[in-house]
Structures are given as C-alpha cells and as structure tokens.
Amino acid sequence: MLPDLLAASFDAFEIIRLLARSCDHRAPELFAAFMTTADAAVDGREAITAAPALPAGGSTARVSVPTADTGTQEITAALAALGALLHDRLTHAAARTAAPEDQDACVQAADAARRIHDLMARGDDDRDIR
C-alpha cells in the first residue's frame, strides 16, 4: 500500500537524519559524510511530505543516540543499508503508482535514498543499489 510505504519512508528518513546528526562529531573524517547524509534525509523526507497519498498523522520516528561503544562502521553500514532499502522500495512504488504527484515524490525520495546509500556505503560489505 502506497500510503503505508510513504508513512514508513517518512519515518525512515527522519530516523536517518536524527542518527546522522547524532554521529557527525564521532570522527572528523566523517563529519562531511554525516552532515551530507542528514541533508539528503531532509530532501527525502520533504519529497515524501509532498506526496498526496501520504496519510495524515504524526511521525513515530524516534531514535536513541547510539552509545559510544557502537562502532561508527556499524552505524554507517546500517544507514547505507536503510538507504538502499528505501531506494529499492520507493523506486518500485514509483513504477507502480499512477498519480503523477505521488510518482514524482517517490522518484525524488528514491534519489535522496540513493544518495544516502552512496554517502554511507564503504565498500563491498554494503548492499549494492541495483
């Protein structure tokens, strides 16, 4: 169902944003990566917000800040995987939806998700975007 997918995607982008923001100070060399990821997550969330099929209701996105002993690589891998998953689902939804505005929203959000994956993926261990 498109409305459910959009609502879940909205929350997923919001979770990515919050996670990226909470981690951007972890390592200086990853500052730009996390900052840009948060920015892409905002783009994705905003694209979803414009979709007419997005149901009303509040976001349920909640994030607990990862503890210091959570590896940065673990976090980036999770974000990359989430980005890939979002890209996959939203691209699929864009192909199946008939309403042009919903289609546009899905395409743009999928693009933001791809950027998130590209920013967070480190190499072969990450799921590739088809």
The Cα–Cα gap between 104 and 70 comes to 37
Among 8, 21, 66, 78, binds other proteins (CB under 8 A): 21
Among 5, 12, 17, 94, binds other proteins (CB under 8 A): 17
What number of chain residues touch other proteins (CB under 8 A)?
47
CB of 79 to other proteins, least distance (A): 9
The Cα–Cα gap between 17 and 98 comes to 29
The Cα–Cα gap between 86 and 120 comes to 14
The Cα–Cα gap between 51 and 41 comes to 16
Instruction: Specify whether the CB–CB gap between 86 and 114 falls below 8 A.
Output: no
51-90 mask for other proteins (x: CB under 8 A)?
A: -xxxxxxxx-xx-------------x---x----------
Tell me: does residue 106 bind other proteins (CB under 8 A).
no
Instruction: Specify whether the CB–CB gap between 94 and 107 falls below 8 A.
Output: yes
The Cα–Cα gap between 11 and 21 comes to 15
Q: Which is nearer to other proteins, 18 or 129 (CB)?
A: 18
CB of 31 to other proteins, least distance (A): 5
The Cα–Cα gap between 91 and 59 comes to 22
State the residues that interact with other proteins by CB under 8 A: 3, 10, 14, 17-18, 21-22, 24, 28-33, 35-36, 38-39, 42-43, 45-47, 49-50, 52-59, 61-62, 76, 80, 104-105, 108, 111, 118-123
